[in-house]
Amino acid sequence: MMGIVREFLGPKSKYNKELPYTYMAKAFIFEDDDELVQHYFADTICGLIEYLEAKGIMPEEVELFGLYRKEEIKLDKTICTDEYGNWLQRPDICNALEEHFEETKDFLYKGHTAKEECSFDDRNRKGEGPN
């Protein structure tokens, strides 16, 4: 019975207002044009980055956002990249986000953990966007 309820209501973490409801990347079609963009989404930042990488979308081509109930907040994508500017993979991205939160206490990066239980474990990591 609880499985049916959870399927209907969605992941429990989606109701935690301290965590983004979902993540979004904006890929700009033309340089210096904020109007024409393609949007990519995933319920986890690691899922979004895996999707972007699979589509061949490089970090310099996008901006990342955490979408909360009433606002979208831009994320620092350098936390999600290595020293060469390439996307980090799991669990490296989890570690980087966890370390950033521990150092800064910036709640935008809360819940991504490799040492303890991930706050996003109940979410689907599948990314979505234009083909």
Cβ atoms within 10 A of the Cβ of 131, count? 3
H helices then E strands: how many in the chain? Answer: 3, 4
**Two structure tokens written together for 89:** 């993979």
**Kind plus residue range of the DSSP H or E element containing 116:** none
Tens of pLDDT along the chain (131 residues) come to 445 444 544 545 555 566 777 899 999 888 777 778 999 999 888 899 999 999 999 999 999 999 988 899 899 999 999 999 999 998 888 788 888 777 776 666 665 555 556 655 666 778 999 87
Q: Exposed (0-12), middle (13-18) or buried (19+): which is 40, by Cβ within 10 Å?
A: buried
Residue 101 has a pLDDT of 73
Residue where the block lists tokens 């993979």:
89
